[in-house]
């Protein structure tokens, strides 16, 4: 198990635009003053939801630093990832996934969808996996 220091992340708060109570560790996007779960692999992730929250309440979003993310499938330690179409962390291959954003690196290996792993994310300066 990888030890990730806590407290080094940058968090911001926005109201949840939907019920996010079961979405801790998912990527969210920001639009019209609220955050919602990313719903396309080409979305620009705003950050990772730190804890689940009901609609309308303030959602804590990690935009930079260590975070726990829920994976969409197998992901090896050291691989780059971004959002999938359902907001989970999805492997991004530079030169192949050129319309998708790579905003994190896995610090642990996951073998199945739904696993939560430690990662470092940078949604402050997102870049395409070109």
The tens digit of pLDDT for each residue in 21-51 reads 999 999 999 999 999 999 999 999 999 999 9
Strand partners, 90: 82
Range 59-82 burial, b when 16+ CB lie within 10 A, else e: bbbbbbbbbbbbbbeebeeebbbb
Q: Determine phi and psi for 15, rounding to 5 degrees.
A: -65, 145
Question: Token pair 């719903």 is at which residue?
Answer: 39
Q: Which of 36, 38, 70, 83 lies closest to 55 in space, CA to CA?
A: 36
Strand partners, 106: 119
Is the pLDDT assigned to residue 4 strictly greater than 80? Answer: no
**What is the per-residue pLDDT across 89-118, written as a single tens digit (0 to 9) for each?**
999 999 999 999 999 999 999 999 999 999
Domains and CATH numbers, the chain: 10-128 (2.40.300.10)
Strand partners, 35: 16, 30
- Global model pTM greater than 0.85: yes
**What is the per-residue pLDDT across 46-75, written as a single tens digit (0 to 9) for each?**
999 999 999 999 999 999 999 999 999 999
């Amino acid at each position: 198990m990888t030890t990730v220091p806590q407290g080094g992340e940058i968090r911001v708060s926005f109201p949840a635009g939907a019920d996010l109570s079961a979405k801790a560790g998912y990527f969210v996007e920001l639009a019209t003053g609220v955050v919602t779960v990313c719903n396309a692999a080409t979305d620009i992730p705003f950050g990772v939801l730190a804890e689940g929250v009901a609609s309308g309440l303030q959602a804590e979003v990690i935009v930079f630093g260590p975070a726990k993310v829920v994976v969409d499938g197998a992901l090896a330690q050291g691989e780059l990832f971004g959002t999938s179409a359902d907001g989970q962390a999805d492997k991004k291959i530079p030169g192949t996934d050129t319309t998708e954003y790579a905003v994190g690196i896995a610090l642990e290996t996951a073998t199945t969808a739904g696993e939560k792993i430690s990662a470092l994310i940078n949604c402050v300066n997102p870049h395409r996996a070109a």
